[in-house]
Amino acid sequence: MAMNEPGVTSPPDAWQKRLGRCFGRAGLIMSALLSLGVALCYTWRLDAWAAVTVFPIWVWWLAGVLLVAAARRQVPRRYSLTVTLIWCLVLYTFSDHPLNLLRFKSGDGVRTLRIVSLNCAGNVRAALEVADLRPDIVLVQESPGREPLLTLARECFGDEGYVLSGVDASIVARGEVERLPLPDSVTSNAVCARIRLADGHELNVVSMRLETPSVRVDLWSPDCWHEQTATRRRQRKQLETIAKIAIDSSGSVPSILGGDFNAPPGDAIFRVLTPLHDAFGEAGRGWGNTILNSTPWLRIDQIWISPQLRAVDVYSRKTEHSDHRMVVCVLRVGRTQ
């Protein structure tokens, strides 16, 4: 049997190397195109693209980087490094306030109002965890029932506590509380109240839980895209209806809308909340994700506030008896210029 001369590649080996280079180049091109497509989806966040944007950006970053890693040995290093840097830019641009990871507790010692929002998953013990934080207003979703909330009101506020319970969401607060009626289409999603604080300030406060989208990864299925698009549109309609009641068009009464939005930060549905802003974007610190409690990968529990309110500290806190982390938001009433 004839032996190959030294330094000469046998035909099978040469074919395998050419095939490997072809797959490597294809993988790198796929990764680059994916980065472009993802950037466009997260920039415009059209309803038709909700099947993509329902995921946090790091999911797509991981997919893109894995494609680069698989192709790394088959393509010039400068190409793989360029695509990796593009993905890092996409990750930073569309991440949920990444600089908040570097923010420490606010040094502002003034505490005017402490809001706590928690999806209790129907667990009585989860609701009672809130009492240790000595809140002024508690926004509850997947409420455990009126009696446990009355217990929470007594623990937090004594005889000054008030419970406004709904089908799924509830409010527990100190002060004078007046229910604001909502249309029948959203009474199972939210409760809304006008709250007069002890210092005379009035607030419109909402506790809500929007429709839950399906968790689907079968992006090759047209049904997946149609379902996510329909869910996004229903969520927007729910939020629009709630916002019309809760947001005072005259601007004389500040609003606080909080709860389980079942939508990722930056989602297009939040555009209907103008002129409110996300309190975590103003004063959030640390890893603000709230779901799942043990391994939080998405911040679907949020608190939105009017321009008249200033957030001085916002963070998520791990719970013991819920699948969500709670959101703690410290506000100052009356924005200082």
**Which pLDDT score, from 0 to 100, does residue 199 have?**
84
**Which pLDDT score, from 0 to 100, does residue 337 have?**
44
Least confident among 13-22, 44-53, 126-135 = 13-22
Which whole-number Å values give the CA distances from 96 to 56, 100, 267, 285, 300, in the listed order? 9, 9, 11, 11, 11
Asked if residue 68 has pLDDT above 90, the reply is yes
Contact 128, 140 (CB under 8 A): no
Which token pair is 3?
């032996």
Q: DSSP states of 173-227 as a string? A: EESEEEEPP--GGGTTTEEEEEEE-TTS-EEEEEEEEPPPPP----TT-HHHHHH
- pLDDT category at 115 given cuts 50, 70, 90 is very high
pTM: 0.92
pLDDT in tens, 300-337: 999 999 999 999 999 999 999 999 999 999 999 865 44
Contact 227, 233 (CB under 8 A): no
> Phi and psi of 82, rounded to 5°?
-60, -45
**Which pLDDT score, from 0 to 100, does residue 272 have?**
97
Q: Up-side HSE of residue 156: CA atoms within 13 Å toward CB?
A: 29
Contact 332, 309 (CB under 8 A): yes
pLDDT in tens, 181-222: 999 999 999 999 999 988 888 999 999 999 999 989 999 999
**Which pLDDT score, from 0 to 100, does residue 6 have?**
56
pLDDT in tens, 132-191: 999 999 999 999 989 999 999 999 999 899 999 999 999 999 989 999 999 999 999 999
**Which pLDDT score, from 0 to 100, does residue 4 have?**
54
| More confident site: 4 or 55 | 55
Q: Provide the 8-state DSSP code for 252.
A: S
> Phi and psi of 83, rounded to 5°?
-65, -35
Q: Up-side HSE of residue 47: CA atoms within 13 Å toward CB?
A: 13
Which token pair is 241?
């209806």
Average pLDDT over residues 14-38: 85
Which token pair is 310?
């200033």
- pLDDT category at 1 given cuts 50, 70, 90 is very low
Average pLDDT over residues 235-241: 98
Q: What value, to the nearest 5°, has the Cα angle with vertex 34 and ends 30 and 39?
A: 155
Collapse the DSSP code of 323 into the 3-class scheme (helix H, G, I; strand E, B; otherwise coil) and give the result. Answer: coil
- C-alpha–C-alpha distance, residues 177 and 196, integer Å: 7
Contact 149, 170 (CB under 8 A): yes
Average pLDDT over residues 285-313: 96
